[in-house]
């Protein structure tokens, strides 16, 4: 049956959800509940979110964190960050604090020019096109007057319109290359509206307009952020060595594209988080930054490093087309809060804040890579995610975090430690505490049913007695356990592990033997006698060894270890521990 649907956008939100779960999920009620549990209880606020995009059925939450202690151009900031990747906010916070005591971040805006283009085809004479363009250029500006009026009041507008010949790369292809200043607005709608007005004014029978659209490649909308200090101020055991390794790591990213991509991804970890928090377009920012990294014809690092005259300098230069008015920044309550947190910055100031956040993230990553390794900090944060997935309590988180302080974190290792922590405490039986052994055994009744196994309680007591007799030497068994098998099996006795249910030595029969004594009391008395003899025979000959039918030749210490496990196993069988 086809799952295609017509008129989906006209359905209510409830109807959209009903159609979705009916056609694509089996556990319908559960899926519907998951979708609805992320709705905001404030109906007006939820409606606001619903109207951001089309066909909205729920909200997708992302963590909203803050990175304090940033000093940018001598002004203190706390930076909001929206990101799902662990360690990003922590790294930014640490580096912000680190550089706050070393002069902070120094930033400057190099340019704020944005680009839009009218793409068209023209098969005629180029000189005629140039003449037509020059004759109509004033009219092209005039065609946008109603659109640019308010922008011009704020000091923005269209800066220039140029005719660009691209026919060497594509036959008959030309552009109108338009530069803009949009001030505190990101300006996407403004630019596109202007371009369409220009295209309509420019078109004629010989000019075929293909499209009019802004460009997210804005190489003249540039910002620079920098940190610097003396090498000694970097601190650590060997600041000179650290600076040199750091410098080489940056140089590798400048020449090696495989490294540069990951290097720049780390920068964008910091920038994108602030872009999202302020309601800006992270996809546009990403596209522009990575294009800028490829402007030489090879993809390269966005950041750079220099060591000169004992001074360490680290900086970044990249394009950032941002807005602080209009769009989502004016609609989303959290975006507005973020801008208030950043002290209501202009678009120019926001460019500088984001550049500092990106440089901080890059410094954190390179410092980790060239010292302890990137996983040291990252996996500690990942550890908390794993523990949350496992449903660990605060006490368990503290214990496991402490355990991995100097150990390598992996998912399987965390799960193993978590399970060990959750594993019930084993109450080992002190088989040489005769009074305690007797006190527990006398509580048993013949009709008590075992938790596992076939023996009744009296057969179990006599079984413990019989095995003790092997150690005592009064139940000789004709068994042989090779040294190889013994070497493999004996280490188990040194562990904290219990004997597994179903463990049975080969000398034992399939069915339990009939009880030898007339009562449970008689069997208990015999067991205590055998335990007393166990102590006596090994005291008389401390070097004595006796072959255990499964573990091989054991001395007194290993017999004691076995007896503790054996008694605990059978006491557990009848719920005595």
Per annotation, catalytic residue among 378, 382, 463, 490 = 378
- For residues 212 and 198, give the distance between their C-alpha atoms in angstroms, rounded to a whole number: 9
- For residues 328 and 334, give the distance between their C-alpha atoms in angstroms, rounded to a whole number: 10
DSSP 8-state assignment for residue 504: -
Catalytic residue flag (residue 265):
yes
How many residues belong to the chain? 577
- For residues 184 and 342, give the distance between their C-alpha atoms in angstroms, rounded to a whole number: 15
Burial 89-124 (b: 16+ CB within 10 A, else e): bbbbbbbbebbbeeebbbbebeebbbbbbbbbebee
Catalytic residue flag (residue 281):
yes
What lies within 8 Å, CB to CB, of 313 at 6+ separation is 226, 227, 228, 305, 306, 307
Q: Is 361 left (phi over 0), alpha (psi -120 to 50) or beta?
A: alpha
Please name which of 318, 217, 304 lies closest in space to residue 255, comparing C-alpha atoms. 304
Per annotation, catalytic residue among 28, 50, 85, 97 = 85
**3-state SS assignment for residue 150:** helix
Catalytic residue flag (residue 290):
no
Catalytic residue flag (residue 378):
yes
Neighbours of 160 (CB within 10 A): 11
Per annotation, catalytic residue among 97, 265, 397, 561 = 265
Question: Which DSSP helix (H) or strand (E) runs through 305?
Answer: strand 303-308
Question: How do strand 64-72 and strand 173-181 relate by DSSP bridges?
Answer: unpaired
Per annotation, catalytic residue among 184, 196, 281, 526 = 281
- For residues 10 and 56, give the distance between their C-alpha atoms in angstroms, rounded to a whole number: 12
Please name which of 57, 51, 53 lies closest in space to residue 24, comparing C-alpha atoms. 57
- For residues 448 and 437, give the distance between their C-alpha atoms in angstroms, rounded to a whole number: 18
Here the tokens at position 340 are 């208030």
- For residues 25 and 124, give the distance between their C-alpha atoms in angstroms, rounded to a whole number: 58
Burial 251-262 (b: 16+ CB within 10 A, else e): eebbeeeebbee
Kindly list the catalytic residues: 85, 265, 281, 378
């Amino acid at each position: 049956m086809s799952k295609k649907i017509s008129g989906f956008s006209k359905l209510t939100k409830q109807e959209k959800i009903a159609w979705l779960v009916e056609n694509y999920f089996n556990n319908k009620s559960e899926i519907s509940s998951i979708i609805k549990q992320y709705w905001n209880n404030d109906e007006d606020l939820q409606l606001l979110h619903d109207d951001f995009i089309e066909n909205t059925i729920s909200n997708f939450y992302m963590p909203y964190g803050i990175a304090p202690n940033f000093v940018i151009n001598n002004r203190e900031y706390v930076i909001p960050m929206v990101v799902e990747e662990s360690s990003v906010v922590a790294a930014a916070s640490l580096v912000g604090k680190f550089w706050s005591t070393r002069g902070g971040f120094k930033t400057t805006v190099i340019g704020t020019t944005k680009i839009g283009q009218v793409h068209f085809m023209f098969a005629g004479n180029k000189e005629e096109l140039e003449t037509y363009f020059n004759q109509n250029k004033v009219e092209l500006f005039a065609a946008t007057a109603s659109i640019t009026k308010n922008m011009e009041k704020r000091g923005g507008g269209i800066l220039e319109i140029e005719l660009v010949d691209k026919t060497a790369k594509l036959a008959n292809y030309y552009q109108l290359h338009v530069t803009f200043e949009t001030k505190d607005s990101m300006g996407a709608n403004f630019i596109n509206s202007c371009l369409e007005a220009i295209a309509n004014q420019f078109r004629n029978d010989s000019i075929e307009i293909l499209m009019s659209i802004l460009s997210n490649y804005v190489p003249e909308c540039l910002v620079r952020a920098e940190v610097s200090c003396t090498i000694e101020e970097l601190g650590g055991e060997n600041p000179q060595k650290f600076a040199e390794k750091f410098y080489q790591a940056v140089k590798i990213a400048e020449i090696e594209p495989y490294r540069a991509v990951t290097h720049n991804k780390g920068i964008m970890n910091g920038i994108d988080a602030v872009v999202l928090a302020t309601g800006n377009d992270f996809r546009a920012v990403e596209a522009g930054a990575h294009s800028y990294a490829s402007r030489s014809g090879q993809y390269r690092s966005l950041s750079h490093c220099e060591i000169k005259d004992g001074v360490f300098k680290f900086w970044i230069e990249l394009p950032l087309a941002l807005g602080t008015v209009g769009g989502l920044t004016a609609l989303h309550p959290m975006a507005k809060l973020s801008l208030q947190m950043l002290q209501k910055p202009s678009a120019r100031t926001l460019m500088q804040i984001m550049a500092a956040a990106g440089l901080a993230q890059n410094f954190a990553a390179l410092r980790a890579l060239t010292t302890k390794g990137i996983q040291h900090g990252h996996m500690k944060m990942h550890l908390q995610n794993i523990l949350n997935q496992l449903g660990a309590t605060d006490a368990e988180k503290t214990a496991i975090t402490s355990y991995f302080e100097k150990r390598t974190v992996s998912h399987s290792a965390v799960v193993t430690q978590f399970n060990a922590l959750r594993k019930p405490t084993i109450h080992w039986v002190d088989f040489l505490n005769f009074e305690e052994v007797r006190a527990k055994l006398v509580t048993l009744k013949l009709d008590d049913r075992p938790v596992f196994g076939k023996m009744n309680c009296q057969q179990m007591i006599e079984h413990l007695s019989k095995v003790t007799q092997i150690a005592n030497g009064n139940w000789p068994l004709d068994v042989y356990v090779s040294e190889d098998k013994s070497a493999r099996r004996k280490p188990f006795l040194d562990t904290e592990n219990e004997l597994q249910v179903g463990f049975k030595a080969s000398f034992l029969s399939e069915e339990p033997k009939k009880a030898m004594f007339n009562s449970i009391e008689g069997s208990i008395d015999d067991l205590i006698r055998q335990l007393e003899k166990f102590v006596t025979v090994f005291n008389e000959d401390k070097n004595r060894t006796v072959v255990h039918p499964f573990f091989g030749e054991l001395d007194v210490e290993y017999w004691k270890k076995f007896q503790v496990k054996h008694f605990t196993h059978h006491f557990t069988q009848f719920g005595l521990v």
